[in-house]
Amino acid sequence: MILHQKTVCKSTFMNSLLISALLLLATCIPPVYAHPHVFVDYGLTFVFDQQGLAGIAFDWAFDEMFTQMLVEEVDLNHDQLFDSREISKIKTGAFDNLANHAYFTHVLVNGQPYPVTEITSFHAALKDGQAHYSFFIPCHVHAGKIPQKVSLTVYDPTYYSDLSLISEKVDYRGPIDHFSLRHEETLAQDAGFPQAPLLPDGIILEFQIK
């Protein structure tokens, strides 16, 4: 059974990506003076295997200004596509440094912090003129007869990026018929993250073997 609940001078390529990285990650200015420069709408998919939760797949959709910067600096043949070489440059110049901030993703498994230390399957694309990043965060949690609880929130602690969850883009993938699943969307604080800013969304996932 699946239940869904909701409670509430011309720069070089690397120089431009450094600017974007600074916008995303700058920590030298105290957060009280910071305000968002990059806006991201994100969706996520909880990916299951035969044992339980395997991880979380994300899709980040960027604002027009960030998209324009990437297109101008990366899509040099103006075909509105990112080829493998361009994607590699994007990952190196404007994504990999997010590892220092756990890719803005904070996870609890049964109330205990789960360290987000790696991602796989990174891809960048243009969809209807909007830049998207997709990637997968491994998070292995075996299912049993007792419900397992996974809570998460996504936010930039430096306040330079604003990340907003799109409710209709929370999904499941894999052999989900083997499990009883439910998720709830709420505030980050109510999901177990008292240190989070006031606005970020929180998600609570519970699952067990049928």
pLDDT in tens, 33-76: 456 789 999 999 999 999 999 999 999 999 999 999 889 888 88
Domain boundaries, given as residue ranges, for the chain: 2-8+11-24+47-209
**pLDDT category of residue 15 using cuts at 50, 70 and 90:** very low
Contact in structure between 152 and 120 (CB atoms under 8 Å): no
Higher pLDDT, 208 or 17: 208
Q: In this structure, what token pair is assigned to residue 157?
A: 């602690």
pLDDT at res. 3 = 46
Q: Give the global pTM.
A: 0.84
Convert the pLDDT of each residue in 133-154 to its tens digit. 999 999 999 999 999 999 999 9
Burial class (CB in 10 A: 0-12, 13-18, 19+), 175: exposed
Average pLDDT in the chain: 86
Note the pLDDT of residue 35. 65
